[in-house]
Amino acid sequence: MDKNNRVLGRMGARELTEQEVDAVQGALRVHHTLTPCFIDKQKQLLNGDQAIGECGP
C-alpha cells in the first residue's frame, strides 16, 4: 500500500483481523448482526447506521 497518497480517513481506520471479523459475527446468536457497523465477509457488505438509499445527490 502506498501510504503517501491515502486519505486521512484510511490512515485513522481501525484494522480488524480476520479473527476479529469472525468474532464480530460470532459474538451474536443470530446469523446476521444488527450492530451499527458490521462487515459481512461472505457477502462483502457493510451494514452500518447509514444508508445511501437516497438515490444519489
Partner 1 sequence: MKLIVLAPEDDNHTAPIKWALEKAGHRVVCWAGLSYTEDCQASLLINQDDTVVLGGHSVDPGDVIWVRRPELPEPNPKVSEADKKFAALEYRSFYHSLAYFLETLPVWCINRYSAARVMIQKAVQMRLARQCGLKTPSTLMSNHPATVREFFARENARTICKGFTPHVWQKEGQMSVAITETFELTADQLPSDEVLTYAPAIYQERVPKDFDIRMVLMGNQIYSYALKNTKQALDWRQDAGLGHVTAELVPTPPDVEKGVLEFARQSGLCFGSLDFGVDAQGQWWFLEINEQGQFLWIDQFNRDARLLEKFCAFVTSPQGSTLPLETRQDLFPSLAEYEELLKNEQVAPVGRPRPDDPFLSLEA
Smallest gap, in angstroms, from Cβ of residue 14 to partner 1?
Answer: 4
Positions in 9-38 near partner 1 (CB under 8 A) = 9-18, 20-21, 23-24, 27-38
Q: How far apart are CA 54 and CA 57, in angstroms?
A: 8
Whole-angstrom Cα Rg for the chain: 14
- How many residues interact with partner 1 (rule CB under 8 A)? 48
Q: Which amino acid is at 54?
A: E
Residue 11 three-state SS: helix
Residues interacting with partner 1, by CB under 8 A? 1, 5-18, 20-21, 23-24, 27-41, 43-56
